[in-house]
Amino acid sequence: MQDRAYLKCIDEQCGAKYPITYTGVECMAGHLLDVKYKDIPPYSLRELFYNRRNPQGSIFNESGVWRFRELLNFCQIDTGDAKMCSKHLVSLDGAEGRLSKPYHMGRVAEFVGLNSENLWLQPEGYNPSGSFKDNGMATAVTHAKMVGAKKIVCASTGNTSASAGMFAANEGMACDVYIPSGQIAPGKLSQAYQFGTQIVKIDGNFDDALDQSLRDTKENNGYTVNSVNPFRIEGQKTIPYRALEYLGWEPPDWIVYPGGALGNTSSCGKALMELYDWGWIKKIPRIAVINSKGASTLSDLYNGSFEGEKLRWNQGKPNIELIHRYYQSLDEQKKRPNTKATAIQIGRPANILKGLRALEFTNGIVDTVTDAQMLDGMSAVGLNGFDCEMASGATVAGIKKLTSCGIIKKDDSVVGILTGRQKDPMLPVEYHNNPENLFARPPKD
């Protein structure tokens, strides 16, 4: 075993060899060293590499979305045939979802008050455009291609436009993105420009941008890729698939998400309903959705703080009038969603009904956290060598809040989804320069 790898002097004449445990950086004569590898008979290194590797060399087996393609085969193709897959399935060379899986993060566990063995966090920021949106965009753009769409359209708090722009550029499609002006992180806006999208600035918030984009799409024959599109939801099912696959299909007690337009909540619910139906899982994890205090539509309605009624899916008969009255009261009071976590600064979650269905099936709960709590959550993730954006910090802050009030029990197992990578670079800089912040490490002069 030990001598399959060794160190060797780069000087041909000298050629001194050292064991791999040698810690010097030069040979006795002062020449630099190389690390060398030997074949392991009867195989060559090349044979070993290819035997272990994905044997068909198919990007669709590597993709974190398409390796579950039998479970989202809306193209109705023979999924074993690689040629057919590459004709139909949209993929960024297999990169979507490939690196995001659950990780233990000790510093976060300590912060939220759980044992590290019971807590996993899944960084969806490890997607090629930097957020979980790539999971659903791969499938939505696949459907757009299937129906011959020439242009995809979305409204965005930032990450949707980055993801849509990336896939559109890769597929040679046009892409229009409706963006609430001044309310999007600089890193996200710059991606939309860089991928060559047509930006449409909306003087309003995300909810206004979505309304406008849906109206324009109808008139101009575009194809909407917001999470109201059911094919987005199909791809996002792979987020819980990957978590469950990693856990050997033994569901955790909880799956925790930040709540914005509620596409994630909806897709997680659908994935669990299907897996349960198919007998693939026996236990149903509870979904916890964490709203920002400044954009708390779902929490207000679900927990009965509006008109005292707790809004429920109610087996398919939700009180839709209650939702309308809530929106009306927001308008009357001129109350706009308001949080620094722009990705979840949404007042009218487009998927609220599918979200309620998911909460009913999983006996889910909804809670809120403050901006300060989200920033601490985001910073705790950073201390484990992972980065995430402020909205993802809601997951950590929510787990902490639910654990400290005993809803999440000390020995419950929890998977938290970190929805996106940091794209607002000044946020951590500001956080750490203020010594009053919990995890702040201000610079030295």
Ligand X SMILES: *Cc1c(COP(=O)(O)O)cnc(C)c1O
217 binds ligand X (CB under 6 A): no
Q: Which of 256, 344, 366, 375 binds ligand X (CB under 6 A)?
A: 344
Give residue for tokens 């949707």: 160
Q: Give the Cα separation of 204 and 157 in Å (integer).
A: 12
Q: Residue 115 CB, nearest distance to ligand X (Å)?
A: 26
Contact characters 73-112, ligand X, x per CB under 6 A: ----------------------------------------
420 binds ligand X (CB under 6 A): yes
391 binds ligand X (CB under 6 A): yes
- Closer Cβ to ligand X, 187 or 318, answer by number: 187
- Closer Cβ to ligand X, 118 or 339, answer by number: 339
Q: Which of 122, 392, 403, 413 binds ligand X (CB under 6 A)?
A: 392
Binding to ligand X in span 154-173, by CB under 6 A = 159
- Closer Cβ to ligand X, 62 or 134, answer by number: 134
CA-angle at 251, arms to 248 and 254, nearest 5°: 140
- Closer Cβ to ligand X, 64 or 88, answer by number: 64
- Closer Cβ to ligand X, 344 or 397, answer by number: 344
DSSP codes joined into one string, 317-365: ---HHHHHHHHHHHHHTT-----S-GGG--SS-TTHHHHHHHHHHHT-E
DSSP codes joined into one string, 253-284: SEEEEE-SSSHHHHHHHHHHHHHHHTTS-SS-
135 binds ligand X (CB under 6 A): no
Q: Residue 205 CB, nearest distance to ligand X (Å)?
A: 14
Which residues 6+ apart lie within 8 Å of 106 measured at CB?
116, 384
185 binds ligand X (CB under 6 A): no
Among 267, 255, 352, which Cα is nearest to 65's?
267
Q: Residue 163 CB, nearest distance to ligand X (Å)?
A: 9
Q: Residue 133 CB, nearest distance to ligand X (Å)?
A: 6
Contact indicator for 173, 149 with CB cutoff of 8 Å: yes
Contact characters 59-78, ligand X, x per CB under 6 A: --------------------
3 state SS of 144: helix
Q: Residue 416 CB, nearest distance to ligand X (Å)?
A: 12
DSSP codes joined into one string, 51-114: HHS-TT--HHHHSTTGGGGGGG-TT---TT-HHHHHHH---STT-TTSS---B--HHHHHHHT-
Which letter, b or e, does each residue of 261-279 get, where b requires 16 or more Cβ atoms within 10 Å of its Cβ?
bbbbbbbbbbbbeebbeee
- Token duo for residue 431: 């956080």
Q: Give the Cα separation of 364 and 445 in Å (integer).
A: 49
Q: Residue 266 CB, nearest distance to ligand X (Å)?
A: 8
Helix, strand, coil content of the chain in percent (nearest 5): 45, 15, 40
Q: Residue 88 CB, nearest distance to ligand X (Å)?
A: 25
Listed ranges 105-113, 214-222, 304-312, 384-392: which one lies at the site for ligand X (CB under 6 A):
384-392
3 state SS of 387: coil
Contact characters 244-283, ligand X, x per CB under 6 A: --------------xxxxxxx-------------------
Q: Which of 191, 197, 227, 373 binds ligand X (CB under 6 A)?
A: 227
Q: Residue 28 CB, nearest distance to ligand X (Å)?
A: 54
123 binds ligand X (CB under 6 A): no
- Token duo for residue 227: 């999470």
Q: Angle, nearest 10°, between helix axes 371-382 and 426-433?
A: 100
- Closer Cβ to ligand X, 118 or 191, answer by number: 191
Q: Which of 96, 389, 412, 424 binds ligand X (CB under 6 A)?
A: 389
C-alpha separations of 385 from 108, 310, 382 in Å: 11, 40, 5
Q: Residue 283 CB, nearest distance to ligand X (Å)?
A: 24
| Footprint of ligand X (CB under 6 A) | 131, 133, 159, 227, 258-264, 343-344, 389, 391-392, 419-420
